[in-house]
């Protein structure tokens, strides 16, 4: 017993370290892929680590309009991502915290982060940030039900009411649930791209405030708060990414090999995101809801396939 407890704690420790240290690597990978696709050298893969270290040393500038709410967004996104990273299984081992209904908490934690980020944006009194905030909440209205319908489909398929049971158990076995699983993952991929403000919904590298969504909400952050925003965004990328790669991971013979599979899958996900960003342009703003509705329909359809 003590042996298995020790092994389990080692797994948990590895998960915590992965969640804390690895995320800034993912945006670096995505950018590298995009640069290579465009025939450029691109910034180093570790660029975000350098940026974070530099921002942490810089002094923050605050507008006279802002209040303490201005800091709530950056703090919330990092705190929430830390907790959410403990709820989602990385690989096949159950997550450090798992209980019945943890997926609801998982979704609402990110809802909390979004609420805080939007309020931080409105705290500046800038109409650009108001614009971004309005878009963020508008799109979340479609992503949230898609996320939950996906949970419903997986709960129906696996009979489990916990992320660890839903994501870690199925594997990619050929079964009645394969078709619905593909639909759920397709729908969640749309949620993933939207929530992490990637192309084709939002362009993280855009330079026109009028067309930004997420980036415009954090325009006025600087110094440590901005470091938190960047770090939190990369953590969210990783945690939501784990949601998608979980069901796809092949089950290997050894738990430690599962970890290798997980890292490889996360790297692959970053490469896929980079390829999508290189191959497609972003949608016009009024087209985005249609894209999101497609995600919603995919997850809803997955559920009804399972019920039939």
- Which of 48, 184, 213, 228 is in the footprint of another protein by CB under 8 A? 228
Longest Cα separation, the chain: 59
DSSP code, position 286: G
CB 30 within 8 A of CB 273: yes
Residue 206 as a binder of another protein (CB under 8 A): the answer is no
Candidate list 21, 54, 65, 287; residue touching another protein; CB under 8 A: 65
Among 122, 163, 218, 237, binds another protein (CB under 8 A): 122
The correct pick among 133, 167, 185, 265 for binding another protein (CB under 8 A) is: 133
- Taking CB under 8 A as the binding criterion, the range among 24-32, 107-115, 191-199, 274-282 that sits at the site for another protein is 107-115
**Residue 237 is a binding residue for another protein (CB under 8 A):** no
| Binding of residue 214 to another protein (CB under 8 A) | no
Count the residues of the shown chain that bind another protein, applying the rule CB under 8 A.
76
Q: Is 20 in the site for another protein (CB under 8 A)?
A: no
Reference 74, options 270, 237, 220, 238; nearest CA is: 220
Cα distances (angstroms) measured from residue 59 to each of 33, 63, 108, 158, 229? 32, 13, 32, 50, 15
What residue ranges in 65-167 does DSSP mark as E strands? none
The length of the chain is 308
- Closer by beta carbon to another protein, 67 or else 175: 67
How far is Cα 115 from Cα 111, in angstroms, rounded to an integer? 6
250 near another protein, judged by CB under 8 A: no
Nearest residue (CB) to another protein, 110 versus 262: 110
CB 283 within 8 A of CB 291: yes
Give backbone dihedrals phi and psi of 304, rounded to 5 degrees, phi first: -70, -25
- Tell me: does residue 156 bind another protein (CB under 8 A): yes
Positive or negative, the CA dihedral 135, 114, 17, 167 is negative
| CB-nearer residue toward another protein: 82 or 276 | 82
Residues 70/124, Cβ–Cβ less than 8 Å: yes
Stretch that binds another protein, among 3-11, 136-144, 168-176, 259-267 (CB under 8 A): 136-144
Of 9-17, 21-29, 54-62, 258-266, which part binds another protein (CB under 8 A)?
54-62
Residue 140 or 197: the one with the smaller Cβ distance to another protein is 140
């Amino acid at each position: 017993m003590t042996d298995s407890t020790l092994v389990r704690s080692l797994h948990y420790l590895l998960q915590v370290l992965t969640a804390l240290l690895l995320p800034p690597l993912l945006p670096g990978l995505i950018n590298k892929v995009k640069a290579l696709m465009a025939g450029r050298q691109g910034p180093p893969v570790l660029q975000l680590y350098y940026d974070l270290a530099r921002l942490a040393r810089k002094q923050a500038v605050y507008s006279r309009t802002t209040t303490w709410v201005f800091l709530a967004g950056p703090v919330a996104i990092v705190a929430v991502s830390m907790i959410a990273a403990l709820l989602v299984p990385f690989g096949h081992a159950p997550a450090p915290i798992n209980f019945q209904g943890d997926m609801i908490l998982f979704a609402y934690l990110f809802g909390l982060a979004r609420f805080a980020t939007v309020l931080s944006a409105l705290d500046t009194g800038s109409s650009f940030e108001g614009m971004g905030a309005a878009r963020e909440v508008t799109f979340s209205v479609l992503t949230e039900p898609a996320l939950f319908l996906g949970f419903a489909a997986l709960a129906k398929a696996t009979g489990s009411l916990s992320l660890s049971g839903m994501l870690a158990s199925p594997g990619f076995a050929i079964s009645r649930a394969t078709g619905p699983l593909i639909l759920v993952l397709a729908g969640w991929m749309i949620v993933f791209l939207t929530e992490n403000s990637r192309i084709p919904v939002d362009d993280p590298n855009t330079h026109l405030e009028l067309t930004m969504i997420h980036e415009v909400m954090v325009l006025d952050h600087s110094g440590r708060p901005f470091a938190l925003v960047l770090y939190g965004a990369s953590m969210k990328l990783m945690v939501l990414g784990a949601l998608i790669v979980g069901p796809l991971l092949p089950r290997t013979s050894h738990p430690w090999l599962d970890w290798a599979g997980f890292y490889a899958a996360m790297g692959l996900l970053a490469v896929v995101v980079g390829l999508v960003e290189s191959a497609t342009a972003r949608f016009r703003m009024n087209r985005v809801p249609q894209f999101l509705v497609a995600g919603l329909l995919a997850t809803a359809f997955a559920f009804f396939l399972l019920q039939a």
